[in-house]
Amino acid sequence: MIFSSDAFIFLFLPIWLILFSAFSAWAKKWTNLLILAVSLAFYGFWDVAFLPIIVASIVVNFAFVAALKRRRRTPLIVAGGVLFNLILLGWFKYQCFFASILGVNLCDPLTASQHLPLAISFFTFQQIAYLVDIHRHEDADEKTPSLVDYAAFVSFFPHLIAGPITRSNELLKPLEQRAYHISAGTMEIGLAVFLVGFFKKVFIADPLALVANPIFAATEVGVVDGLSAIIGVVAFTLQIYFDFSGYSEMAVGLGLMVGIQLPWNFATPYAAASLIDFWRRWHITLSTLLRDYLYISLGGSRVGPFRRHYNLMATMLIGGLWHGASWNFIIWGGLHGCFLVANHLLRQANVISLPYWLGVLATNILVAFAWIFFRSPTFDGASNMIMSLLTTWDVDAASVYLAAFGDHFMLPTTSSLDVIAGGITFLVAAYVLALGVRTQELMGWYSSLMGADFGARAIMAIFAALLMAYGMFLQAGSAVEFIYFDF
What would the mean pLDDT of 92-119 be, rounded to a whole number? 73
Cis? peptide before 109, omega within 30° of 0: no
Tell which residue, 58, 68, 54, has the closest CA to residue 132: 68
Q: How confident is the model at residue 186, as a pLDDT?
A: 87
What would the mean pLDDT of 289-317 be, rounded to a whole number? 85
- ∠ at Cα 35 (32, 37), nearest 5°? 110
Q: What is the DSSP string of 378-403?
A: SHHHHHHHHHHTTSPP-HHHHHHHHH
What would the mean pLDDT of 276-293 be, rounded to a whole number? 92
**CB atoms inside a 10 Å sphere around CB 48:** 11
Of the listed ranges 89-103, 306-320, 378-392, the least confidently predicted one is 89-103
Q: How confident is the model at residue 413, as a pLDDT?
A: 67
Of the listed ranges 5-14, 200-209, 294-303, 393-402, the least confidently predicted one is 294-303
Q: 332 or 184: whose pLDDT is higher? A: 332
Cβ(354)–Cβ(389) below 8 Å: no
Share of the chain above pLDDT 70, in %: 92
What is the rounded distance in angstroms from the CA atom of residue 54 to the CA atom of residue 184?
Answer: 34
pTM for the complete prediction?
0.92
Q: Evaluate if residue 362 carries a pLDDT over 90.
A: yes
Q: Evaluate if residue 432 carries a pLDDT over 90.
A: yes
Of the listed ranges 5-14, 110-119, 247-256, 338-347, the least confidently predicted one is 110-119
Cβ(419)–Cβ(402) below 8 Å: yes
b (16+ CB within 10 A) / e for 236-274 = bbbbbbbbbbbbbbbbbbbbbbbbbebbbbbbbbbbbbb
Q: Evaluate if residue 112 carries a pLDDT over 70.
A: no
Q: How confident is the model at residue 364, as a pLDDT?
A: 96
The pLDDT confidence band at residue 93, using thresholds 50, 70 and 90, is confident
The pLDDT confidence band at residue 22, using thresholds 50, 70 and 90, is very high
The pLDDT confidence band at residue 453, using thresholds 50, 70 and 90, is low
Cβ(247)–Cβ(201) below 8 Å: yes
Mean confidence (pLDDT) of the chain: 87
The pLDDT confidence band at residue 19, using thresholds 50, 70 and 90, is very high
What is the rounded distance in angstroms from the CA atom of residue 470 to the CA atom of residue 257?
Answer: 23
Q: Evaluate if residue 140 carries a pLDDT over 60.
A: no
What would the mean pLDDT of 433-440 be, rounded to a whole number? 88
Q: Evaluate if residue 46 carries a pLDDT over 90.
A: no
Share of the chain above pLDDT 90, in %: 51
Q: How confident is the model at residue 161, as a pLDDT?
A: 84
Q: Which amino acids are annotated catalytic?
A: 323
Q: What number of CA atoms fall less than 13 Å from residue 246's CA on the CB side? A: 27
Q: How confident is the model at residue 113, as a pLDDT?
A: 57
Phi-psi region of 476 (alpha: psi -120 to 50; beta: other; left: phi over 0): beta
Q: How confident is the model at residue 69, as a pLDDT?
A: 83
The pLDDT confidence band at residue 421, using thresholds 50, 70 and 90, is confident
Q: How confident is the model at residue 477, as a pLDDT?
A: 59
Q: What number of CA atoms fall less than 13 Å from residue 441's CA on the CB side? A: 6
pLDDT digits (tens, 9 = 90+) for 321-334: 988 888 999 999 99
Cβ(346)–Cβ(352) below 8 Å: yes
Q: Evaluate if residue 418 carries a pLDDT over 90.
A: no
The pLDDT confidence band at residue 463, using thresholds 50, 70 and 90, is confident
Q: How confident is the model at residue 6, as a pLDDT?
A: 83
